[in-house]
Structure 1
Amino acid sequence: MPRFRLTIEYDGSAYVGWQRQENGHSVQSAVEKAILALTREPVLIRGAGRTDSGVHAKGQVAHADLSRSWKPETLRNALNAYLGQSGEQVSIIEAAEVSDEFDARFSALRRHYLYRIISRPSPLALEAKRAWWVSRKLDHEAMHEAAQILVGHHDFTTFRSTHCQANSPFRTLDRLDVTRDGELIEIRATAQSFLHNQIRSFAGTLKLVGDGKWAPDDVRAALDARDRKACGPVAPPDGLYFMKVDY
């Protein structure tokens, strides 16, 4: 049974998240319906990461086991045709046949995320639901300094959702950089895996530093507290993008 790796882009605004759920339409179910329409067989796919409602992706990866082999470009184009006809905000960027040993989730070495903040007085029109609008100017250099406190292997209890299902709060954060280009502030995070709401918790906390309400030492104190109540506000999902997976 051939296994295919799918690289997927989507606008998460209209979905309840990546994972199939009973309370609404998910990205996973959209892709599975496209596969069903093409192959006439129900197929369950596994994604590299579970994104929440409103979170976008440029490089989500999933794998699917199909009953017969396909030319990758034919599979990609056929799935995109169905997704487009169905009005889905989902696109298959690439399809590739892989070995049975490949697993979109468990074979991942590193995951890369981007969080976008637009810092300006005027509300967003074109970028609405594509970034977090902050009306005040933020000090991105102070945000970057504070972000480096979080890099490394830590107990991230403070920065994970109380609903997080991970067995351990310990994670190794390889990168957390904050840069500015005009009114756009970008937070880029890399790790093998992340906890539920971890990056949005980082973004909301670092925004307090950019506002001047917190100093970098306050971020260190929040990390050391190992207490969810010590976290800053969780940033909205609009600005978060699942960018890429390394295998």
Structure 2
Amino acid sequence: MGSFVALVATFFLASVTVYYANSSPCKPPVEHVCSCKHGQLSTNETCTVCACSQDGNFRRCETSRWMDISSSWIVEESSWYYCPWYCYFTPNKALKAFDGNPSTYWEPMYRVSGYKHWVILDFQTSHKIRILSITNHGGGSQDVVSFTVESSPVSPYLWEMAHSSGAVVPGTSDPQEFKLDFVGRYMRLTVDTQSGVRPIIREVGLFGTEDTGGAEGSTCPALNTGCVISDTAGELSPPGGQSCYVTADIHEGLRR
């Protein structure tokens, strides 16, 4: 009798393993190296996502997201100081437009009317940028009404036009999004106000991902989007020498 129970239990576990392996959202068509990360469901339960790529690099399975812009990425900006007789320095440098806090803002120093202020970012590696968001101050005269985005793969810069728009609405402090589609390591954003005076910009947001050389998400086209992964989540190796997609899905199946 004990042997029969053990046989049934073994058969059940095998069935679970096969079912979850076959229904895995990240099962590759061939054997790939895999890397896993823990995340969280909307129910606050822990979940696991495994990215399967030829080299085991989890980033190859990540899709675009709103990027966290480090202050060190802002390498040049216009008019952060002004020296008529002695020098004035703005307390509101461009980094304040990329800090994720709409209560702070970028306000460059004085230039002649009509001057278009700019900021240059270094993403450290090549990135694909899909969306740019601008949040004006909302006061009107110092609100941005148009902008251009240029990209360069190298420094010294070789600027190429990536996008331009004259559709930014002044008089509102709501974020305004614009679709982009470019790849580059360096980006120059140039803005213009409706009155030609210096701008006040609460926030600039960028939606994109690191460019790993292939089609975005091609190594894992069906990631479980219900599992939200923290930017600080560490990568995990699949335990026991098993294929990562089997390990992750057995865990999910047994937890339920």
- Scaled by the length of structure 1, what TM-score is found? 0.29
Q: Which structure has the bigger radius of gyration? A: 2
- Scaled by the length of structure 2, what TM-score is found? 0.28
- Structure with bigger strand share is 2
Q: Which has the higher contact order (CA 8 A, sep 6+)?
A: 2
